């Protein structure tokens, strides 16, 4: 099955060039490359947007298209989401960013995500042109999001299941590193327990068995390499030598 086309990001009457540039960076982070601008307040192109886009994200701005109205900006769009946190008297489906992203991946035609101007967001006339509303579940006492933050959040929901997955950093093992085996971990636990007994750490005596058990469990939970084990032995020898 072919990969679905990424959503188009439409910024309606954006006010600050810096926010447009920051939105471009957020888009490219998650593979969104098509930006459409509706009547940007300070005109276009905007040098402040280019400066904020910083490098590679400039390509999003280079290809950005400008339209006088939202209706014209939605050419070729099959389904559009309006992002807003305010209550509306318009009857429309309301979904979360995750639900919108999932539905967009299953849709064959182009999808657009519409964002309003920084000061007040989308107007009812704008929302009326969308098929559904996207609302982020945030603190009801402070639901306002910066424009670039909103774009980043929607981009993340799209990209997390569309972009190639990479193993988490802690899952990677440096080349040449060998993990400690159970015998080596047992010896490390024995060494620390012996020196802690000498230091009077396991006190009071009636709690000593539980404390030893917890310490042993601590060592077994750690994904230690042989080099790690040698370092921990060395630290203990140096501390107790004095």
Assess if residue 67 is contained within a domain: yes
Same domain, 115 and 188: no
Same domain, 51 and 147: yes
Of 115, 133, 159, which one is at a domain's C-terminal end? 159
CATH label of the domain that carries residue 212: 1.10.8.590
CATH label of the domain that carries residue 121: 3.40.1280.10
Buried b (16+ CB within 10 A) or exposed e, 31-52: ebebbbbbbbeeeeebeebbeb
Q: Which helix (H) or strand (E) holds 58?
A: helix 58-62
Same domain, 27 and 129: yes
Same domain, 22 and 78: yes
Same domain, 49 and 95: yes
The separation between CA 19 and the C-alpha centre of its own chain, rounded to angstroms, equals: 18
Q: Rounded to the nearest 10 degrees, how much is the dihedral formed by the CA atoms of 100, 103, 104, 109?
A: -130
DSSP 82: E
With contact defined as beta carbons under 8 Å apart, do 135 and 98 qualify?
no
- pTM exceeding the 0.95 threshold for the entire prediction: no
Assess if residue 37 is contained within a domain: yes
Same domain, 130 and 37: yes
Assess if residue 177 is contained within a domain: yes
- Give the structural domain span for 191: 170-241
Same domain, 212 and 141: no
Same domain, 128 and 14: yes
- Distance in angstroms (rounded) separating the CA atoms of residues 156 and 29: 8
Assess if residue 82 is contained within a domain: yes
The structural domain count of the chain equals 2
The pLDDT value recorded for residue 10 is: 97
Of 129, 159, 189, which one is at a domain's C-terminal end? 159
Same domain, 86 and 151: yes
- Distance in angstroms (rounded) separating the CA atoms of residues 80 and 114: 7
Assess if residue 212 is contained within a domain: yes
Can you list the alpha helix ranges (DSSP code H) found in 63-207? Answer: 70-73, 97-105, 124-127, 147-159, 182-198
Assess if residue 2 is contained within a domain: no
Of 159, 185, 206, which one is at a domain's C-terminal end? 159
Same domain, 67 and 143: yes
User: Tens of pLDDT along the chain (242 residues)?
Assistant: 467 889 999 999 999 999 999 999 999 999 999 999 999 999 999 999 999 987 788 899 999 999 999 999 999 999 999 998 765 677 889 999 999 999 998 888 899 999 999 888 899 899 999 999 998 888 878 877 889 999 999 999 998 876 766 655 555 555 667 888 889 999 999 999 999 999 999 999 999 999 999 998 888 888 888 999 999 999 999 988 86
With contact defined as beta carbons under 8 Å apart, do 2 and 28 qualify?
no
The pLDDT value recorded for residue 150 is: 93
């Amino acid at each position: 099955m072919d990969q679905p086309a990424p959503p188009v990001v439409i910024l309606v009457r954006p006010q600050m060039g810096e926010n447009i540039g920051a939105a471009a960076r957020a888009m490219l982070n998650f593979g969104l490359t098509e930006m459409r601008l509706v009547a940007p307040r300070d005109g276009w192109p905007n040098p402040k947007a280019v400066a904020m886009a910083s490098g590679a994200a400039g390509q999003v701005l280079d290809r950005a298209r400008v339209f006088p109205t939202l209706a014209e900006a939605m050419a070729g769009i099959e389904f559009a989401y309006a992002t807003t946190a305010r209550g509306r008297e318009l009857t429309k489906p309301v979904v979360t960013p995750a639900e919108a992203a999932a539905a967009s991946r299953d849709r064959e035609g182009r999808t657009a995500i519409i964002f309003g101007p920084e000061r007040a967001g989308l107007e009812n006339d704008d929302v009326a042109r969308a098929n559904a509303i996207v609302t982020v579940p945030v603190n009801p006492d402070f639901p306002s999001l910066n424009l670039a933050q909103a774009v980043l959040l929607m981009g993340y929901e799209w990209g997390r299941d569309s972009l190639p997955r990479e193993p988490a950093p802690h899952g990677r093992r440096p080349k040449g590193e060998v993990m400690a085996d159970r015998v080596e971990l047992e010896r490390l636990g024995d060494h620390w327990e012996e020196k802690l007994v000498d230091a009077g750490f396991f006190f009071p005596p009636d709690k000593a068995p539980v404390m030893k058990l917890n310490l042993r469990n601590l060592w077994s939970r750690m994904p230690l390499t042989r080099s790690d084990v040698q370092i921990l032995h060395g630290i203990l020898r140096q501390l107790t030598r004095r």
